[in-house]
Amino acid sequence: MNMTLSIALEYIRNRKRQALLSIFGVMLGVAFFIAIAGMMRGMHDYFIEKLIDVVPHVKIMDEFRTPPSQPIYQNYPDSLIDLRGIKPKEELRGIRGAKKIITKLYTRDDIRISPVLEGQAFLRYGGKDIASRLIGIDPKMERNTSNLARDITHGSLDRLLTNSNGIILGKGLANKLAIQLGAKLSVISPVGVIKKMKLVGLFDSGVPEVDAATSYAMLKKVQILQGKEDVINQINIRMNNIDAAPALAETLEKNYQYRAESWQESFANLFEIFMLENMIMYSTVAAILLVAGFGIYNIISTTVNEKKHDIAILKSIGFSERDVRHIFLYQGIIVGIMGTILGWVLGAILVELLAMLDFSFEGDVQAPVEFNDGFPMYRSIWLYIGGGIMAIISSSISAYLPARKAAALYPVDIIRGAA
């Protein structure tokens, strides 16, 4: 065995109790990192999985990221122009050339699309007027891009096809209206069109805010209601490979100019919260490892003081400063490695214990949170590797400081003191 390493091992063996305490400190740091990071990451992944289950992966909207500039600015780019009294044109909003886009995207195998017209409408029933987000859909295409068909609790999505005046309401919305399946209600659009429609289905998406305001009807009917014949204002896209969403959104936006938003962009703020949570977790783990580092620093400083005679004789024999530094540095690394191994074991146990927890709460994101099958833990070898690396680096630094001091000791001073 390496000579400096064998000396380091003997020194540790001689201070078992203190070494054990330091090892425990490192162990806790590593174990908590694996458990907490596994929990956080597991929850984040769970949320994302739920989210992308309910939202379109990419949506093309009838708006532009930056409004086109006035023609005069385009013609005289370098001139100083004062343009006053600009009035927006009253135009029919919607995605122009939507048919072309849909036909083109429809042929792709890796994505499924659904054109919708979304707008506001009042629902009147029994003297109650309630505002709703009315979404015009093509049931056959919608089935492939959302969970609406699955979420319908009463009636069915297909009844929209058989009953062209049918409407599907969210559970909460139906409750507010106090309406029963099969009843007829009035739908009033902002442009003043009134239509009698029949309630053919109820859905429960699990998100109360959505259920209390959303309604679905045939695309054609909604276009008539809103006075926007043949117009759609959003194309929802679902993909097989969700990670490709930002790239697809970018291409679509480049090709058609309309704002195309990936799910990653839609939930950017959620990812920021996740990032913040990660920062909190990392600082907690860093604090634990810092405390463990103090322990290591303490034990090695004490050893250096106690072993001054050994340092003196080793140096007078011809050991270099590097050898002496290694003896003490190795002690820290040994503590770090042992703590890491124990931390891995404890971490794995903690992960499995946490995974057994059952609880549920109502999430304020667009998905209900129910952990009936235990907590969704993230398990990855990288957490173990990352925890180990952090632990060994922090113990090496803690050991390096006293080790450097030991290496710099001047043997003559020690020998004189001992004599």
Partner 1 sequence: MPYPAVELKNVTRTLTEEVIPITLVKDINCTINKGEFVAITGPSGSGKSSLMYLIGLLDSPTNGQIFIDGTDTSLASKEAKEKMRLEKIGFVFQFHFLLMEFTAIDNVMLPMRKLGKLSHKEMKERAEMLLGHFGLKNAAWKKPNQLSGGERQRVAIARAMANDPLIILADEPTGNLDTKNADIVFNLFEKLVKEENKTVITITHEPYLAKRAERQINIVDGRIA
Nearer to partner 1, 6 or 380 (CB): 6
Site for partner 1 in 272-311 (CB under 8 A): 309-310
* Backbone phi, psi, residue 232, to 5°: -125, 150
Contact string (CB under 8 A) for partner 1, positions 149-188, x = contact: ----------------------------------------
Nearer to partner 1, 10 or 53 (CB): 10
Who's near 33: CB < 8 A, 6+ residues apart? Answer: 281, 285, 288, 343, 347, 383, 386, 387, 390
Q: How many chain residues touch partner 1 (CB under 8 A)?
A: 24
Tell me which residue of 397, 291, 396 sits closest to 27, measured CA to CA.
291
Who's near 137: CB < 8 A, 6+ residues apart? Answer: 114, 116, 148, 160, 216, 217, 218, 219
Exactly one of 131, 247, 349, 418 binds partner 1 (CB under 8 A); which one? 418
Nearer to partner 1, 3 or 268 (CB): 3
Question: Burial code of 332-349, b = ≥16 C-beta within 10 A, e = fewer?
Answer: bbbbbbbbbbbbbebbbe
- Beta carbon of residue 419, minimum distance to partner 1 (angstroms, whole number): 5
Site for partner 1 in 11-70 (CB under 8 A): 11, 13-14
The string of DSSP letters for 280-334 reads: HHHHHHHHHHHHHHHHHHHHHHHHHHHTHHHHHHHHHHT--HHHHHHHHHHHHHH
Give, to the nearest 10 degrees, the angle between helix 308-317 and helix 411-418.
120
Instruction: Determine the Cα angle at 95 with ends 94 and 97, to 5°.
Output: 130
Nearer to partner 1, 7 or 111 (CB): 7
Exactly one of 3, 268, 287, 357 binds partner 1 (CB under 8 A); which one? 3
For residues 171 and 212, give the distance between their C-alpha atoms in angstroms, rounded to a whole number. 7
CB atoms within 10 A of CB 220: 14
| Residue type at 412 in one-letter notation | V
Nearer to partner 1, 245 or 314 (CB): 314
Site for partner 1 in 131-150 (CB under 8 A): none
Q: How far apart are the first and last CA of the chain?
A: 33
Is-contact 151 203, C-beta < 8 A?
yes
DSSP 131: E
Nearer to partner 1, 148 or 299 (CB): 299
| Residue type at 300 in one-letter notation | I
- Beta carbon of residue 304, minimum distance to partner 1 (angstroms, whole number): 14
- Beta carbon of residue 405, minimum distance to partner 1 (angstroms, whole number): 18
Contact string (CB under 8 A) for partner 1, positions 305-344, x = contact: ----xx-xxxxxxxxx--x---------------------
Among the listed ranges 67-75, 158-166, 224-232, 411-419, the one in contact with partner 1 (CB under 8 A) is: 411-419
Nearer to partner 1, 201 or 411 (CB): 411
Nearer to partner 1, 86 or 419 (CB): 419
Exactly one of 7, 27, 28, 213 binds partner 1 (CB under 8 A); which one? 7
- Beta carbon of residue 268, minimum distance to partner 1 (angstroms, whole number): 58
Encoding tokens for residue 345? 């074991």
Beta-bridged to residue 185, according to DSSP, are: 197
Nearer to partner 1, 15 or 124 (CB): 15
Asked if 407 interacts with partner 1 (CB under 8 A), we say no
Exactly one of 80, 86, 381, 419 binds partner 1 (CB under 8 A); which one? 419
**Residues at the site binding partner 1, with contacts judged by CB under 8 A:** 3, 7, 10-11, 13-14, 309-310, 312-320, 323, 411-412, 415-416, 418-419
